[in-house]
Structure 1
């Protein structure tokens, strides 16, 4: 079985998925995150959303593919948790700046 190699800030994001404080260190100060049409701007808003989602859904994310699209990294991920339709395949669209996540869009 081959191991998926992710850029460091993306690997850190998935490694810290149940640790909102560690997740906050993956983002730029002005980062923007969109999750199914809801937008969160700034580290504090992103951290609060991720903490709430982690507590509510207990989701586990397993990235299985990555591709480059212009300045974006598209990561396909199998997400399993306490939500209807679990497991589901989600697309994470990362834009990196200076070794951190500047934007992240999560879609089905």
Structure 2
């Protein structure tokens, strides 16, 4: 079985999905997250969104593939939770800067 090795801030992001305080430490202060047609700017807005989504969907995310694409790390993950269409495979497009997440775009 192949073990997926993720860059540190990305590994921490997935390991901390239900811990907003830990998630906040993964992002730059001025990071941008895009998900489901919405844009969240700044670590406070991002962690508030992720905390609310965690409570609402109680999702578990398991990364299974990663590729580098134009300087971004694109992670594919199986997401299982309380939402229509669960489980679903989603793409997470991470931009990293100085050991932190600078941008994240989540898509189907």
Note whether the superposition's TM-score is higher than 0.5: yes
* Residue number in structure 2 paired with 1:44: 44
Q: Which string of whole-angstrom CA distances, capped at 9 and with x for unpartnered residues, describes residues 51-97 of structure 1?
A: 10000000000000000001100000000000000000000000000
Counterparts of 1:20 and 1:3 in 2: how far apart (Å)? 26
Following TM superposition, the consecutive aligned residue runs of length 4 or more in structure 1 with deviations greater than 3 angstroms are none
* Residue number in structure 2 paired with 1:61: 61
Q: CA RMSD in A?
A: 0.5
Counterparts of 1:10 and 1:105 in 2: how far apart (Å)? 13
* Residue number in structure 2 paired with 1:81: 81
Deviation at 1:12, TM superposition (A): 0.3
TM-score, length of structure 2 as denominator length = 0.99
Counterparts of 2:101 and 2:91 in 1: how far apart (Å)? 15
Residues matched between the structures, number: 108
Unaligned runs of 5+ in 2: none
Matched, 1:93 2:93: yes
Unaligned runs of 5+ in 1: none
